[in-house]
C-alpha cells in the first residue's frame, strides 16, 4: 500500500463500495419468474468486477452496456437473460436495488467523521442514490451526496467531483476517493487531482492499483493513520 498525505476529506463511490444490490429482493423477483439461484450474491460480486473489463467506459454509455452486464449476471447464476432483465426491472422499479449496506460501511463513516474528516458520496446513479443510502442507514452519516443522474455528469468525467468538493470546502489534493473500479473511479479521481483508492471486498479484482484495501475498516485505518491518529 502506497503512503500518501493526510486527508481533510474522503469521498466515496456508492454501489460496490458502500452499498450493494439488495440480492434478497432480486431473488424474490426471480422466484416470481420460476428461478431460485442459490449463489446470487456471489454471482453479483463476480459480475460486478467486469466493470473494469468488458463494461469499462470504452464500451459505451450505461444504456449501451447495462443489458449486456445483466446478461452476464444471469449467465453466471443460470438465469436466462430475458428473465434476469424482467426480474431486475420489477425489483428496482419502486426502490433502487442498490440499497443494502456493505459490512462496515456505517462504522467506517462514523470513525472518519469522529476524526474530523469530511465525508460524502460521488456516485454514478439514476437520481435515486440518496434515497437508497437512506434505506441503507448511511445517508445521515454523509455530508453531501452527488448523484450523476441529478447533476448530469458521470464518472469517469472528473468534473463531477466539483459538486462535492465545493460544498465541503475541500481541496482536491487534500481529499481521498474510495471506489471499487479503476476504469470509472480511479480514472476520474486521478484526473480531478484526488488521491484514489480501490476497495476489493471479495478479493476478485485483477486490475492493478497501488492503494488497495480489502475492507472499509482497513481504509478507515489508513485515513486515520495518515492523520497521525491512533486506532484500535
Tell me the per-residue pLDDT of 121-140, one tens digit each, with 9 for 90 and over: 999 999 999 999 999 999 99
Q: What is the pTM of this model?
A: 0.94
Residue 1, pLDDT above cutoff 80:
no
For residues 229 and 44, the model is more confident at: 44
List the domain boundaries for the chain: 9-19+99-226, 22-92
Residue range 151-183, pLDDT digits in tens: 999 999 999 999 999 999 999 999 999 999 999
Q: In which band, very low, low, confident or very high, does the pLDDT at 2 lie, cut at 50, 70 and 90?
A: low
The answer to whether residues 174 and 7 touch, using CB atoms and an 8 Å cutoff, is yes
Q: What percent of the chain has pLDDT over 90?
A: 86
d(CA 97, CA 107): 22
| CATH classification number, 9-19+99-226, choose in 1.10.4080.10, 3.30.465.10, 3.40.50.9100, 3.40.50.1000 | 3.40.50.1000
Model confidence at 4, pLDDT cuts 50, 70, 90, reads confident
Strand ranges (E), 86-200: 100-101, 118-123, 144-147, 175-179, 195-199
- Please say whether the beta carbons of 120 and 140 come within 8 A: no
What local confidence, expressed as pLDDT, does residue 61 receive? Answer: 72
Per the prediction, the chain carries an average pLDDT of 94
Amino acid at each position: 500500500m502506497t503512503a500518501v498525505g493526510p486527508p481533510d476529506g474522503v469521498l466515496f463511490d456508492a454501489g460496490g463500495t458502500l452499498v450493494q444490490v439488495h440480492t434478497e429482493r432480486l431473488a424474490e423477483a426471480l422466484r416470481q419468474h420460476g428461478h431460485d439461484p442459490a449463489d446470487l450474491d456471489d454471482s453479483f460480486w463476480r459480475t460486478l468486477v467486469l466493470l473494469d473489463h468488458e463494461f469499462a467506459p470504452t464500451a459505451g454509455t450505461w444504456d449501451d452496456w447495462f443489458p449486456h452486464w445483466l446478461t452476464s449476471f444471469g449467465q453466471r447464476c443460470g438465469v436466462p437473460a430475458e428473465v434476469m432483465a424482467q426480474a431486475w426491472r420489477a425489483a428496482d422499479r419502486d426502490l433502487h436495488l442498490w440499497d443494502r449496506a456493505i459490512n462496515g460501511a456505517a462504522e467506517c463513516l462514523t470513525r472518519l467523521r469522529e476524526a474530523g474528516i469530511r465525508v460524502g458520496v460521488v456516485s454514478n446513479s439514476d437520481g435515486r442514490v440518496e434515497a437508497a443510502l437512506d434505506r441503507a442507514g448511511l445517508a445521515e452519516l454523509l455530508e453531501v451526496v452527488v448523484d450523476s443522474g441529478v447533476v448530469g455528469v458521470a464518472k469517469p468525467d472528473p468534473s463531477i467531483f466539483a459538486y462535492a468538493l465545493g460544498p465541503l470546502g475541500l481541496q482536491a489534493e487534500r481529499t481521498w476517493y474510495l471506489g471499487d473500479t479503476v476504469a470509472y473511479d480511479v480514472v476520474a479521481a486521478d484526473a480531478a487531482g484526488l488521491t484514489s483508492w480501490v476497495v476489493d471486498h471479495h478479493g476478485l479484482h485483477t486490475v492493478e492499483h497501488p492503494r488497495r484495501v480489502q475492507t472499509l475498516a482497513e481504509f478507515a485505518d489508513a485515513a486515520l493513520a495518515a492523520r497521525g491518529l491512533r486506532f484500535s
